[in-house]
Amino acid sequence: MSVVTRINVETVLQDVDFFVIGTATSELVKDIGPLVSRNAEKLTGVKSDYVEELRKQFQHFTVAVDYNFLALSLASNAISGLSLVLDHWELWNIQFLVQRLIYAVDELLRVHQYTLSATTAYAEAISGLDTLFKQYLEENGSDVLLQFETTNTFWNTHHLENISPHALSSSVIKKLEDSKAATEAFGLMFLKLSEWLRGVLLDENGFFGDAVQETNLWFDHARQKWRALEAKILTTNDYLMKGISMHPVFFTFKDLQEVWDRLTSDQRSRKAQIEAFKPTVKTRPAVRKHYSPIPCQLTRKDICSYSCTLTLQHVEKVESHRSRISIELGIEAWLKPPPYCISVECEVQLPSESVQSGAGVKIVDHGPKTQKEITDDAHVEPSGCTPNIHTRSTSPAIVTWQIARRNWFRNRPIAGVPSRLPLSIVVEHTTDFSLRLRLNITRYEWFFKRVSGDTEATASLRA
């Protein structure tokens, strides 16, 4: 399959500094605003011909901000839409999913186009302002100072500040260059994502559902990472709006409503292009596979007056056809007497169609196996817990843990059953498989009255 197979959201969150686009805008408006305001000549002492030329070059910057405002708003909407597809992956029919992804591709491409326009405008602003500042310094000398009137809104006070044109020029050009670089990185990331989605939709060699699963778009990156990306974009947009609010007269868009009006208008004009992009999508007649998200709380149930949870925490591919599965058992709302014994049975199973094809699955390792492993595990609660532990395997596909209070007559927590216990198994498999967990809890009321209860949970995992 000739498509990009990974979009590393973690790398994007760490390496692409979106905030520069917003913060630099606020700082640039603050720096240049007084020089292009209505009373600029009177307030700063700069000649009118310079002020007019500065306003002309400043417009390139405001155009860049307008395009970035459109790009950031649409990017937020696109990522939110992809998250919505993820949330409804098992509920929506395949054709509706395709339709949503087609619109996502279009939105992502438009984000890239807006950033290209913003980058061009930044380049024009850098070139024009750099030339103008150099000309001003040549004609007036490096010793001349520009006078700015600044306002402290908290104390409602005004004072004059003298700034060197050379220092102002260096600061402005640096911020414009940083904004241009951040915009390029931002646009490139969304171009790659759009190319990946388009490749999945147009791939003629595979089935649509398989293609999306194989790329690991959803399952290698937890949903919170995509939401963190959306939050980062929204925060950058807030910084951008803060800069615009300082001198709104310079900008085309004063608020989000005007942005969305423009985006809606652009989308209508592109409707023919969107409708023309209707890939022939191959789907299997069978029901699409469902895989459990990770991490995932498989069950939460009250057993013997204890609130018990089984959580699928992590799946790690340790080598080809071998995966380590991490599970966490939680027991809340401790009562007296505490549980005397818990039993967790773990079974791996093949789907019915895989059994016929000769596929196999078995458990080749598990943990913990000893009391010391429980005591040494920093994730076990309470810390230093020392219960009795016994494990057994009744078949290659089943392993059972039995954990009991070490001293039947003493209810000290450190000698009892853990309230939080990580478990793990290593599974050798050649195909997709399911994991079935059975939890049983036993406690005693008074000396001889025994009370027990159980629950089950299942998860579906990929090869």
Q: What is the mean pLDDT of the chain?
A: 77
303-333 tens-digit pLDDT: 887 888 999 888 888 887 888 999 999 988 5
Mean pLDDT of 205-228: 56
Residue 85 in this model has a pLDDT that exceeds 70: yes
Contact (CB, 8 A) for 182 and 68: no
Residue 67 in this model has a pLDDT that exceeds 80: yes
Instruction: Compute CA 46 distance to the chain's CA centroid, rounded to the nearest angstrom.
Output: 48
Residue 207 in this model has a pLDDT that exceeds 60: no
Give residue 154's pLDDT. Answer: 46
Residue 420 in this model has a pLDDT that exceeds 60: yes
Mean pLDDT of 134-140: 79
Mean pLDDT of 166-187: 88
Residue 143 in 3-state DSSP?
A: coil
Give residue 148's pLDDT. Answer: 58
Which has more confidence, 231 or 351? 231
* Torsion 26-31-35-38 (CA) sign: positive
Confidence bin at 286 (pLDDT 50/70/90): very low
Give the list of residues 6+ apart from residue 142 with CB closer than 8 angstroms, or none: 164, 165, 166
Cross-strand partners of 398 = 347, 395
Please return the burial class of 228, using the count of CB atoms within 10 Å of its CB with bins 0-12, 13-18 and 19+: middle
413 preceded by cis ω (within 30°)?
no
Give residue 289's pLDDT. Answer: 47
368-409 tens-digit pLDDT: 999 999 989 989 988 888 889 999 998 899 999 999 887 655
For the chain, list the domains and their CATH numbers: 9-276 (no CATH), 296-461 (2.60.40)
Residue 25 in this model has a pLDDT that exceeds 60: yes
